[in-house]
Structure formats: C-alpha cells, structure tokens
Amino acid sequence: MGNLFGNISLALKLKLGYIPSTLQYEAKLQKSWEDVIFFQQFPEGNLWKEYVELKGKKYSSKNEQRASQVRLKNIEKSDEWRRYKKLAKSSQVSRMIKMEETFADNFDGNSINQDRWLPKYFWGDKLIGKGYSHSEEFHHYTEGQNLHVKNGRLIIKTEEGSHAGMAWDKKFGFIPKKCDFTSGIINTGHSFRQRYGRFEAKVTFSRIDGVYNAFWMIGDNATPHLNVFKINQNLELGVINGIKEVNQSKVSSDLLKENTYIVGLEWGKKDLKWLINGVVVKKMSNNLPDTPLYLVFSSGVQKKPSGKIANDFIIDWVRCYKRN
C-alpha cells in the first residue's frame, strides 16, 4: 500500500509542475553557494574590520565621534552590509554552511579519474580482476571503452556491438557470455563511501525502449540497493533491501518534462529523501540503510530492443556533502 501511495505522490508532483526547470534550479543553487561564500568571507573583509574598529574606538573629540557615527551609518546602509545581515537570518544559508563537501567531480580533462572511479563492478575487480555483467541482461560492460569525457561531461554510451565477456549468473556463478550490446559503468567502491549526507548529480538521459540509465548506491552486499534515479520506460526511486523488502516508487517516464535534471538523495538517521531539482519527491523512514555506501552510475540493456540502440547517459557533475 505504501508503494501505491508513493507512486501517486510522485506522479502528482511531476504532473502538477511542482518541479522547477533544471535551468532555474541550477541558477538558484549557484546563487545559494555564492551567498554562503559571501557570508563566510565578509567578516574577513575591510568593511567589517572598519566597522568593528569604529565601534570600539575611543574618541578624543566630539567632532571625531560624530564623523565616526556618520561613517557607521553609511556602512550599515551599504549593499554589502545589508546583504550580510539578510543572509545572517536565512535558514537556507544556515543549513548550507553546515555542509562539508566530501566528494566532487566536474569531469575535467579527457578521461575519468581512476583514482576516484572504477570502470567496472567493484566486486568484479576484487574477485576476478576484470569486469562483468549480469546474465539476465543483454549487454557487456567494457572496461572504459564506452566511457567518454568531453567538454566537462562524462558520457556513458550504450550501443550495438558484439562482445564476449564474463557474466554473473545466480545459479552458476561467473560464466562466459556473448552479447550484442556494450555499455559502461563507474563506481567509487575503492575510493569513496559515506553513511548519511547529501548526494547529488546533474544527469541527462536518452529514452530508448529497453535501455536504462541509473544513479545508484550500494555497499559490500547486494542489499541495501538505493536507486537515487533510475530511468527506462519508468522512473524508479527507492530502496531494495531484499526480495520481500522493496520500497520503490515507480511512474511513467513520460511525466518528466525534461531530459536533464539535478537528482539527489538526502540521507539522515531518521529518513531518506529523494530530490529532483531540489524538490523532495519521495520520503521513507523505515528499514533505512545503516552502512556506508558508494556511488554507481551505469547504463544498460534490460530487454531486447525492437530497433537500433544509440543511448548516451551524461553526467555533468557529482557532489557529496556531510553535515558538520
């Protein structure tokens, strides 16, 4: 029943236009961080120092005192002073100033930073020293050939192409398998894991029947598995804690008005909140994960497509924070 209500709530928020445009939200986000930087730096500036000095000064004459009082009033009327005082009352600034950046990537350069990102499943690298896919899917993950960094964006390509590799089968374990499609995956299993905080990324997806694009989080076990944002013919958000413990909201991807969003997760001790362009679209407070998880971005073919495939899953940036 909870999933049904979650689906209805998610669908209504998307359909009724509660989600601002990505352009609007990104501009707001940038302005908020500029405000935080200004607020933190202002007390170190000359105007603040002059104000404090004038306030604590002992005057040798009334004329000097009057001149100082005029200057103090002029400082208090200045745009910078008023901005600072306004931000001092802002709950948004108060919240953001307590956030410490723990991981970030703007995908500068010409390739992924492999100190941060592993271009294969973490456990494939640990157990067999190579990448693998799942036997029920129709693609193989190449170890970087389908990952392209260009103009400050990571592109994960899913495309046609015969490829032989290893696949994980629930019954037989690792088996050799040939596939007609290739794709890519990156994760931070070897470099970054975190419990609690805010996890956010700007993503652009292509809607092709049978192909999924996903931002998810996982630890050393198969569960909990957090779908921060998974898109195919449906949008899926939620947590999988096992076959019988699935708390996922699922709605038609047709409800999404854009192909680019800033998506994320706020993970606290008492709840999980899923965000699309800063708006909470799903919330849960039961059976929460309680172990550090790492980031995964992947694309793939989950059912045989009717036509040709050329799918780009694009990640502009990734940012993670924890509260001080």
Q: What is residue 135's predicted lDDT score, i.e. its pLDDT?
A: 87
Beta strands in the chain (DSSP E): 99-105, 133-134, 139-141, 147-150, 153-169, 173-183, 185-187, 197-204, 211-218, 225-231, 234-242, 245-252, 260-267, 272-276, 279-284, 294-301, 310-323
DSSP state of 223: -
pLDDT in tens, 21-51: 999 999 999 999 999 999 999 999 999 999 9
- Over residues 51-61, the mean pLDDT reads 91
Q: What is residue 246's predicted lDDT score, i.e. its pLDDT?
A: 77
pLDDT in tens, 149-203: 999 999 999 999 888 888 888 888 889 999 889 999 999 999 999 999 999 999 9
pTM over 0.85? The answer is yes
- Over residues 66-73, the mean pLDDT reads 94
- Over residues 10-29, the mean pLDDT reads 88
Nearest to residue 6, comparing CAs of 289, 286, 288, 281? Answer: 281
Q: What is residue 260's predicted lDDT score, i.e. its pLDDT?
A: 97
For 151, counting Cβ atoms within 10 Å of its Cβ (0-12 exposed, 13-18 middle, 19+ buried), the class is exposed
pLDDT band at 1; cut points 50, 70, 90: very low
Backbone angles phi, psi at 246, to 5 degrees: -125, 120
Q: Is a pLDDT exceeding 80 seen at residue 243?
A: no
Quote the CA–CA distance of 83 and 35 in Å, as a whole number: 9
pLDDT band at 5; cut points 50, 70, 90: low
Q: Is a pLDDT exceeding 90 seen at residue 259?
A: yes
pLDDT in tens, 91-111: 999 999 999 999 999 999 899
pLDDT in tens, 209-227: 889 999 999 999 888 999 9
Q: What is the mean pLDDT of the chain?
A: 91
